[in-house]
C-alpha cells in the first residue's frame, strides 16, 4: 500500500464535564487526527496526547510538530508500507509514542479497509462485546461521590474506579464499599504515593479491591515491587508500561500482577498486542485504559480490548460520558457493554458534518 498524502487535522470537542488532572482542568478535548490517502483508499488515526504535559511528556502541540516535521515525512518517503513496518519506519525518531501510534492506526485502518477486514479480526479479538467500567474523580463530598457512583451503576457500568491520593483514599473507598457491597471496585493513584506511604495503601486491603493502579511514580519499578510485596491488593501498572520490554521488566521484578494497556502510551496497537501476549504467557490479566478518545480511538480500543487476555472491564465508557457531540456515530453501552465494531478497518469513520463543526485546522502533506 503506497501512501500518497497525509492530512493532519486538529479538532476540539467540548466535554460534558471538565476533565481534571493533577495540575489543571480542561473543558474541551483537543486532538490531532491523521487521515491517510493511499493508492487503495483512506485510513484514519487519532493521537491521544492531551493539551498539556501534565499526564505524560507528550502533548498536542508537540505531537503535531513531531508528526508534521519528522514522522509524516518519513512515512511519505517510505512509499509502500504495511502496518507491521510503521514502527520500524518511524524508529529513528526518538519518543513521541502517541504520535507514532496515530500513524500506525491510520495505516492499519487503510490496509484493512482495502482488504475488507476488521481491525478486531486483525488483532486477534475473540469477543464481540467488551465490559465497560467508569473512572470517578474526586467529589466535593462523600455524599456526592455515592450519588455519582449510583448513577453510573444505574447506567449499567460493570466496574467503578476511584481516583485516590494520600488524604483522600480510605474514607471514599470505605464509603463506596459500604454502600455498594458487591460492585467491582478498583482505585487509581496516578503515582501519588511514595514507597514509604505503603501503609496507606495497605489500609485499603479489607475492601476487596480488584487492584490499585499505579501506586508510585512511573519510573519507580523497584518502588512498585516493594509496594506489591507489602499489600494484599493486586498492584496494576499503567504509566510505567511503555513497551513490551518495560512490561517484561516489571513482571520480572514483581512490580505488578495486573497491567493496564493503552495503545497510545506504548506506541501503537501492535505493540499493545505484544504486551497482551506477554502477559497472557505469564498468566497476568490485562485491561484497556482510555485517554478521552473520540469515536475513532474508542473503536480501536474496543478491537484491542476484545482480545482474550483482557479479562477485566475496560475504561471505555459510552461517548455521551464525555462528549455532547462525537466525531463518529456515538458508542452507546447496552447492559454495561460496548459492541466491538465489525466493519472494515476501524469499523467507524468521522461523520462529515460533525467533523466540519469540530475541526480547528487542516493541513495536507505530500511527498
Enzyme catalytic residues: 163, 262
Cell (9 digits) for 56: 505524560
Cα of first residue to Cα of last residue in the chain, in angstroms, is 15
DSSP 287: E
List the one residue out of 333, 302, 340 whose CA is nearest residue 319: 333
Residues 6+ apart with CB under 8 A from 154: none
Cell (9 digits) for 91: 524508529
B/e letters for 325-336, b = 16+ CB within 10 Å, e = fewer, are ebbbebbebeeb
State how far the alpha carbon of 315 is from the alpha carbons of 92, 135, 319, in Å.
Answer: 32, 7, 12
Per DSSP (E only), the strands in the chain are: 3-20, 25-38, 41-47, 129-131, 133-136, 159-163, 185-188, 212-213, 235-237, 258-261, 286-288, 337-339, 359-365
Angle (CA) 55 56 58, round 5°: 130
Cell (9 digits) for 87: 514502527
Classify residue 194 by burial, with Cβ atoms within 10 Å: 0-12, 13-18, 19+.
middle
What is the C-alpha to C-alpha distance for residues 312 and 131, in angstroms, rounded to an integer?
Answer: 8
Cα 247 vs. chain centroid, distance in angstroms?
A: 16
Output the furthest CA–CA distance in the chain (Å, rounded). 61
What is the C-alpha to C-alpha distance for residues 313 and 362, in angstroms, rounded to an integer?
Answer: 36
State how far the alpha carbon of 9 is from the alpha carbons of 6, 242, 261, 280, 363, in Å.
Answer: 10, 26, 26, 37, 6
Amino acid at each position: 500500500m503506497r501512501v500518497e498524502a497525509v492530512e493532519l487535522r486538529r479538532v476540539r470537542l467540548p466535554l460534558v464535564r471538565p476533565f481534571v488532572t493533577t495540575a489543571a482542568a480542561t473543558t474541551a478535548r483537543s486532538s490531532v487526527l491523521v487521515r491517510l490517502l493511499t493508492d487503495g483508499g483512506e485510513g484514519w488515526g487519532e493521537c491521544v496526547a492531551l493539551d498539556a504535559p501534565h499526564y505524560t511528556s507528550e502533548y498536542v502541540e508537540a505531537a503535531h510538530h513531531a508528526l508534521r516535521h519528522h514522522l509524516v515525512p518519513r512515512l511519505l518517503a517510505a512509499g509502500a508500507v504495511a502496518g507491521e513496518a510503521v514502527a520500524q519506519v518511524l524508529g529513528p525518531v526518538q519518543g513521541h509514542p502517541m504520535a507514532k501510534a496515530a500513524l500506525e492506526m491510520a495505516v492499519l485502518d487503510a490496509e484493512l479497509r482495502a482488504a475488507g477486514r476488521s481491525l478486531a479480526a486483525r488483532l486477534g479479538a475473540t469477543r464481540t462485546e467488551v465490559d465497560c467500567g467508569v473512572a470517578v474523580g474526586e467529589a466535593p463530598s462523600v455524599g456526592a461521590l455515592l450519588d455519582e457512583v449510583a448513577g453510573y451503576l444505574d447506567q449499567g457500568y460493570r466496574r467503578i474506579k476511584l481516583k485516590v491520593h494520600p488524604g483522600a483514599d480510605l474514607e471514599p473507598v470505605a464509603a463506596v464499599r459500604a454502600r455498594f457491597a458487591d460492585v467491582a471496585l478498583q482505585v487509581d493513584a496516578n503515582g501519588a504515593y511514595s514507597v514509604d506511604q505503603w501503609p496507606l495503601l495497605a489500609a485499603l486491603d479489607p475492601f476487596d479491591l480488584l487492584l490499585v493502579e499505579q501506586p508510585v511514580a512511573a519510573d519507580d519499578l523497584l518502588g512498585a515491587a516493594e509496594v506489591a510485596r507489602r499489600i494484599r491488593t493486586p498492584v496494576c501498572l499503567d504509566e510505567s508500561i511503555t513497551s513490551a520490554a518495560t512490561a517484561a521488566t516489571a513482571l520480572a521484578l514483581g512490580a505488578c500482577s495486573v497491567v493496564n494497556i493503552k495503545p497510545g502510551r506504548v506506541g501503537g496497537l501492535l505493540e499493545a498486542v505484544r504486551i497482551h501476549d506477554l502477559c497472557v504467557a505469564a498468566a497476568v490479566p490485562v485491561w484497556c485504559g482510555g485517554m478521552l478518545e473520540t469515536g475513532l480511538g474508542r473503536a480501536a480500543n474496543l478491537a484491542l480490548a476484545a482480545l482474550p487476555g483482557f479479562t477485566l472491564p475496560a475504561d471505555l465508557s459510552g461517548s455521551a460520558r464525555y462528549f455532547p457531540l462525537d466525531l463518529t456515530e456515538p458508542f452507546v453501552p447496552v447492559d454495561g457493554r460496548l459492541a466491538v465494531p465489525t466493519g472494515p478497518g476501524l469499523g467507524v469513520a468521522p461523520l462529515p458534518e460533525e467533523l466540519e463543526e469540530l475541526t480547528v485546522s487542516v493541513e495536507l502533506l505530500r511527498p
